[in-house]
Chain A
Amino acid sequence: MRDPARREHTPDAAREARLVSIRREAEKKGRLVEQGVRPKGAPFPKASPETGYYGIPLLKEPQWTWEIPVYFFVGGAAGAAALIGALAKVTGKDEGLARDARLVAAGGGILSTGLLISDLGRPERFLNMLRVFKIQSPMSVGAWVLALFGSSAGAAAFAQVVDDRLKIGPVRVLGNVAEGFSAAMGLPLATYTGVLIGATAIPAWNHNVKTLPIHFGMSGLGAGVSVLELMGHDDSPALNVLGIGASAVESYEGVQLEFKRDSVNRPLKHGLTGWTTRLGSVLAGPVPLALRIIASASGSRRLRRAAAWSSIAGSILTRVGWIYAGHESARDWRIPLQIKETPSTPELTSRRDIPQMRAG
């Protein structure tokens, strides 16, 4: 049910009297005379410094919808594509690649905006995001970066289409300026999402804040390269070199995570979220790395395409895995309570039986 805009209430004598009557009623009835019925031998847990408050999660789970991990992927690929296009143009190495990169960046910008808006609880209020700019809020910084990226990438792509047909010099210049600006905005767009989830109260996320932006940035670079390759640029040697670089860093990040042996990282390594993250790491790291090295020796376009698909799948799975690992992490009350795990510590139960946990 949608509540009407909940406004403030004006105190008056009647409402004050009602509050007093609640107190009077509590005084009369709100006293426990004796204990209620307690089934003998029932497994009633206790609240204690070792178990916390009946194992009820202290933190709230993230309430983002499926759009957010998809947006992380799309935004990362689009931001990287804008950079790739601008560099292909500035170095004068590949005009065709620069042209397609503008289209990928613009399309990704539009798609990202749509995904972000549809995730909002009140989508019609999406412009409130641009009401203020708060440097201390990665969500605010990200909204502005996306707005600037989307408009400049869109302008660059539009200028490209116009210039291709009409050959207008000033339009070409404006398009190049917009392209440069979108590449500059593409860098934070591809990396801020790591800061966004890293600077939260969720332990599995903030514990990895130093590596998440690099991880997500490289994942975005790999995805951007792959999308362009699948558009027909699977013979570009520069893209293969970039793909090798991105998947090499992703392999390194994956190995680093495997070697971290603390309980905070458990949701990233165990269970469904752990295996999703791990599968994403493998598909974005070692698999395309090997395929691309073989492809650069043999010149096989089929291997390049296989590497591209693997990178894209890995990039999506990585973001999904990280987001849902955050859900698992929020449910583990022991980390914010600094409870050391002992054999007597109860198993991590998700406590989905709590009424509000279901509704939330």
Chain B
Amino acid sequence: MSTSTDFETGHSGHTTAFLTDSTLCIGCKACEVACKEWNGVSADGFDWSGFSYDNTGHVGHSTWRHVKFVEGDPQPGFGGNSGETISWEFSSDVCKHCEVAGCLEACPTGAITRMEFGAVYVQPDICNGCSYCVVACPFGVVQKNVEDGRAFKCTFCSDRQRVGLEPACAKACPTQSIKFGEINELRNEAQDRLQELRARGIEDATVYDPQDTSVGGIHSIFLVRGDPRTYNLPPKPEVPTIYLKDGWRSAGIAAGMMVVAGLAAFLSTPSKNGKRLEGAAR
């Protein structure tokens, strides 16, 4: 795990990732604060959601880290909960930095690029706010700030990673719930942690790392308890480029139909040139 604070070392040359372990998260939101402070992201306002202690709701253009508050049935003995109160699990959500990223494929300006350590990064000086990435993301992460006009999402602290620093959220996390490091090391660490939790009787611990779908794996792995769907993590996220073949084939058929119909219509009907000339002569 890279926890170096030496600015001179530079980028490690590895493909990096987050491992967000919800069994360690205490819901303090230090990651959200650190992210906003480091990246200069504007406030969301003081609005109450009215349905849980989560008043932010989801990641978006002004929330690049978002702590989910999953309230469930009482589970005595877990996390210090008493028998009659609901159980509480927290999980800090973030951009998944997909291996095959829908937003990156969709971006018509080339504003969205892949960084050397694997991050998917929106270059703010190039984005022209076409908002096509918004409908291309299978995780609902990237969003356009309507007032600003451009799309924003987690940068994976590319500016920090380039000089060998861990992202701000990982640095500010007081429980090491947000781990940062080389992707394969973290995948192994996730499996080790899973075995450890299961050995301790936490049978429902799950690693969320969809590698068998068209997104081809993510750079933000999650360790959660229970069904990942409870955390709004889709079981089978797909990159929208898989629909291109069917779409363009259909467009080709449509174009063929238009040409054939057009030719048939003109060739099967009488010429109107003479009539027009008559009209003009009158």
Contact = CB atoms under 8 A, between A and B. Distances in A.
A60 B135 contact: yes
Contact of A122 (B129, B160, B249, B258): B129
B128 A121 contact: yes
A83 B49 CA distance: 53
Nearest to B47: A355
Contacts of B86: 35, 46
Contacts of B33: 22, 26
A25 B28 CA distance: 10
Given A213-B247, A221-B258, A241 B264 contact: yes
B261 A212 contact: no
B276 interface: yes
Contacts, number: 402
Interface string A1-28: 1110111111100011011101111110
Given A9-B40, A192-B251, A121 B63 contact: no
Interface stretch (A151-159, A170-178, A231-239, A264-272): A231-239
A62 B134 contact: yes
B68 interface: yes
A192 B250 CA distance: 9
B106 A137 contact: yes
B148 interface: yes
Contacts of B44: 355-356, 359
A213 B254 CA distance: 7
B257 A60 contact: no
A131 B264 contact: no
Given A87-B262, A214-B250, A9 B229 contact: no
A213 B251 CA distance: 5
Contacts of B60: 60, 356, 359-360
Contacts of B142: 60
A218 B257 contact: yes
Contact of A195 (B134, B248, B263): B248
Given A199-B240, A218-B257, A356-B60, A120 B229 contact: no
Given A46-B72, A94-B271, A218-B257, A198 B247 contact: yes
Given A59-B140, A120-B149, A129-B108, A36 B272 contact: no
Interface in A26-40: 26-27, 29-32, 35-36
A143 interface: yes
A275 interface: no
Interface residues of B, number: 126
Contacts of B251: 188, 191-192, 194-195, 213, 217
Given A47-B231, A54-B51, A63-B143, A139 B247 contact: no
A360 B146 contact: yes
B134 A63 contact: yes
A218 B143 CA distance: 32
A211 interface: yes
B30 A26 contact: yes
Contact of A84 (B50, B231, B246, B262): B262
B241 A238 contact: no
Contact of A26 (B56, B124, B174): B174
B85 to A, nearest CB: 5
A47 B47 CA distance: 20
A246 B135 contact: no
B211 interface: no
Nearest to A21: B172
A48 B132 contact: no
A210 B250 CA distance: 6
Interface stretch (A161-169, A281-289, A332-340): A332-340
B265 A242 contact: yes
Given A60-B137, A213-B251, A242-B262, A22 B131 contact: no
Interface stretch (B11-19, B163-171, B184-192, B193-201): B163-171
Given A22-B30, A59-B135, 7 more contacts: A47-B52, A47-B231, A60-B135, A91-B266, A137-B132, A138-B244, A245-B261
16 contacts: A19-B34, A23-B30, A23-B171, A26-B28, A56-B57, A60-B135, A60-B143, A92-B271, A120-B149, A121-B144, A125-B129, A199-B244, A210-B246, A217-B254, A217-B255, A326-B135
Interface of B: 5, 7, 26-30, 33-34, 37-40, 42, 44-45, 47, 49-58, 60-63, 68, 70-73, 85-86, 88, 102, 105-111, 124-132, 134-152, 158-160, 163, 165, 168, 171-174, 226-227, 229-232, 234-238, 240-241, 243-244, 246-251, 253-255, 257-259, 261-273, 276
